[in-house]
């Protein structure tokens, strides 16, 4: 059987598998190398340290959500509908990650606390996406904002209840969907031009 080339993506997929099995505390680079049938030296040729590997796998996990949301931003919906869809897609993606595989979600929650810089870059990217939607809305006369990036951050923080992992225990409670609708309605009303 010909050996598949050892790409960063293969290493990161194997790392996620190892994290799923062993948890954040116990997963080692040796486990990752073993899962791939390579030496740990081969892994270190792509990721120089264990910390770098953990940062990269965290970024990959967060990027899945960013890519999903980028499709919404690129779509042709009117700005208000697009913003609502963006917020609903973010809530849905986070809720799925938390609900479908709670252990992996807990593992990544540990990893995000170790990788503050990766998380800050992720948040900046999401607020950048929101800024683009608000900009479209202001140009088309649907929204009003004195300072787009400030308003975009306010929209992100006002909806933190429905995307920040610190709130994950509340996402499966009865009424979470109605609570989301009520907050989004309030935020949308706050943005709408008059």
Residues that bind its own copies (CB under 8 A): 150-151, 153-155, 157-161, 164, 166-167, 178-179, 182-183, 185-191, 194
Q: Which is nearer to its own copies, 141 or 194 (CB)?
A: 194
Number of residues that make up the chain: 194
Smallest distance from its own copies to CB 166, Å: 4
Smallest distance from its own copies to CB 147, Å: 8
Q: Which is nearer to its own copies, 67 or 147 (CB)?
A: 147
Q: Which is nearer to its own copies, 124 or 182 (CB)?
A: 182
The Cα 7–Cα 54 span in angstroms is 16
Q: Which is nearer to its own copies, 85 or 154 (CB)?
A: 154
CB 46 within 8 A of CB 33: no
- For 132, other C-beta atoms within 10 Å of its C-beta total 17
Nearest Cα neighbor of 50 from 133, 111, 122 is 111
Smallest distance from its own copies to CB 170, Å: 9
Smallest distance from its own copies to CB 38, Å: 38
| Triad 44, 19, 160: Cα angle to 5° | 110
Q: Which is nearer to its own copies, 60 or 153 (CB)?
A: 153
Instruction: Calculate the alpha carbon distances from 11 to 3, 27, 28, 118 in Å.
Output: 14, 13, 13, 18
Q: Which is nearer to its own copies, 74 or 160 (CB)?
A: 160
Smallest distance from its own copies to CB 43, Å: 32
2 Cβ partners below 8 Å, 6+ apart? none
Smallest distance from its own copies to CB 141, Å: 16
């Amino acid at each position: 059987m010909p050996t598949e080339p050892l790409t960063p993506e293969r290493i990161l997929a194997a790392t996620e598998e190892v994290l799923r099995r062993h948890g954040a505390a116990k997963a080692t680079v040796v486990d990752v190398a073993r899962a791939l049938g390579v030496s740990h030296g081969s892994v270190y040729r792509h990721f120089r340290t264990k910390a770098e590997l953990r940062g990269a796998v965290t970024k990959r996990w967060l990027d899945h959500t960013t890519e999903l949301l980028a499709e919404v931003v690129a779509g042709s919906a009117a700005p208000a509908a697009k913003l609502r869809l963006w917020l609903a897609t973010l809530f849905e993606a986070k809720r799925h990650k938390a609900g479908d595989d709670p252990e992996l979600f807990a593992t990544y929650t540990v990893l995000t606390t170790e990788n503050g810089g990766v998380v800050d870059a992720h948040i900046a990217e999401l607020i950048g996406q929101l800024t683009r939607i608000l900009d479209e809305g202001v140009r088309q006369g649907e929204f009003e904002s004195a300072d787009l990036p400030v308003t975009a951050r306010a929209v992100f923080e006002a909806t933190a209840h429905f995307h920040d992992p610190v709130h994950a225990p509340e996402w499966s409670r009865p009424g979470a969907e109605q609570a989301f609708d009520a907050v989004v309605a309030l935020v949308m009303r706050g943005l709408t031009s008059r």
